[in-house]
Amino acid sequence: MGLRTVRTALVGAVVAALATTGLATASAAGAGQDAGAHGATRAAMAAEVKAGIPGILGQVQDKLGTWHGSVGVADLATDRQRLPQDRFRIGSISKAFVSTVLLQLEAEGRLDLDDTVERRLPGVVRGNGHDGGRITVRQLLNHTSGVFNYTKDPGMVEKLTSGFPEHRYDTYTPRQLVAIAMKHRPDFRPGQGWNYSNTNYVLAGMIVEKVTGHTYAAEIQKRVIDKLGLRATTLPGTSSLMPSPHGRAYGKLSDAPDAEIVDTTELNPSWGGAAGEIISTTGDLNRFYRALLGGTLLPERQQKELLTTVPMDDAGGGYGLGVTSATLSCGRTVWLHSGGIHGSTSLAVSTADGRHTAAFNYNGDWRADLPALVEAEYCGGKPAAAALKTNSALAAVTSLR
């Protein structure tokens, strides 16, 4: 969501407090697995808390059952531990929900992924070299459109960082967000490159609304949330409130090592819109990824389109339609997406068959060693430093938030 800068320092007193209060817990179903199957995952989570993140929440679903892990605290003021049912903002993991709806609409014959944006949204993508007549819906979803990322606009960056306290409750419409992007030149000609742009998914949400006559939120609710029984997943729109239960979210609004930690729990997520407004839980994310990768949400043709990737420049890794893929140090290939918004960094991962899923959330946004978490869960431990360093694909796909 444009707030993925890794920040490294935390006030020493906070680190000390977390080191003494950071306990890991496991569900009754998964308690016996912790020392074995998920011991490395817990260790990776604990390392992140030791490095300064207030708390990390995780859940894994695999052939052994369901494992819950919690390290650190949900609230720095009360030291409450994080709970399996805690809700959090998932940021760009929202993109897979949007792409699923568009793929379902294609399966119903209501649109084609090779339709132009101009056909579906006449006159919206135009100006400074942008031409919606040359951009397809597919190129929006796999980030090959070249459309400028509005969260990179200097004015927007200021509002989302140093200006956050003043602008945290501002409301943006999708048209306003796209208009910000249209003030800039495209990153490249459509289909001639790759660049992560939140504008792509704001436009995708607008297309859902144009085709169906309903908001993208209503379509996601009907087609995904209700169908899968994701009872803790919501699209808040312009509401700044978090549904209970939830912990607190903590952010740093600059890269300075001594930057103040700010409580960012309440914010108006309309600046993210279809690119990243959703609130969910680790359990709901695992259920969604199990269904999505398992093929229960899409027909075979659309499933193939979902998982057809394009290269992410020289970094390695592949971007599909709202999901990414990477091969780990142990040779396993996983599908995943990360998500970031003020005070919240999330990750959803799955094997290709949807049978081994994992979801995590940090309640801090200044550091996140997501590659270590993925390697720990799917390869059984942290790989040698040299192996992790050379795995540019995993580093690249886990940075997309």
Which residues are marked as active site? 92
Residue closest to 169 by CA, chosen among 250, 89, 270: 270
β partners of residue 199: none
CA 329/CA 378 separation, integer angstroms: 10
Residue 300: CB atoms within 10 Å: 9
Side-chain half-sphere CA neighbours of 144 within 13 A: 19
Q: Per-residue confidence of the chain (401 residues) as pLDDT tens digits?
A: 655 433 332 233 333 333 333 344 444 344 445 545 799 999 999 999 999 999 999 999 999 999 999 999 999 999 999 999 999 999 999 999 999 999 999 999 999 999 999 999 999 999 999 999 999 999 999 999 999 999 999 999 999 999 999 999 999 999 999 999 999 999 999 999 999 999 999 999 999 999 999 999 999 999 999 999 999 999 999 999 999 999 999 999 998 888 999 999 999 999 999 999 999 999 999 999 999 999 999 999 999 999 999 999 776 789 999 999 999 999 999 999 999 999 999 999 999 999 999 999 999 999 999 999 999 999 986 665 545 555 788 999 999 98
* Burial of 281 per CB tally in 10 Å (0-12, 13-18, 19+): buried
Tell me which H or E stretch contains 261: strand 261-263
What is the reported pLDDT for 401? Answer: 83
Provide the phi-psi class of 127: left if phi over 0, else alpha when psi is between -120 and 50, else beta. Answer: left
What is the reported pLDDT for 256? Answer: 87
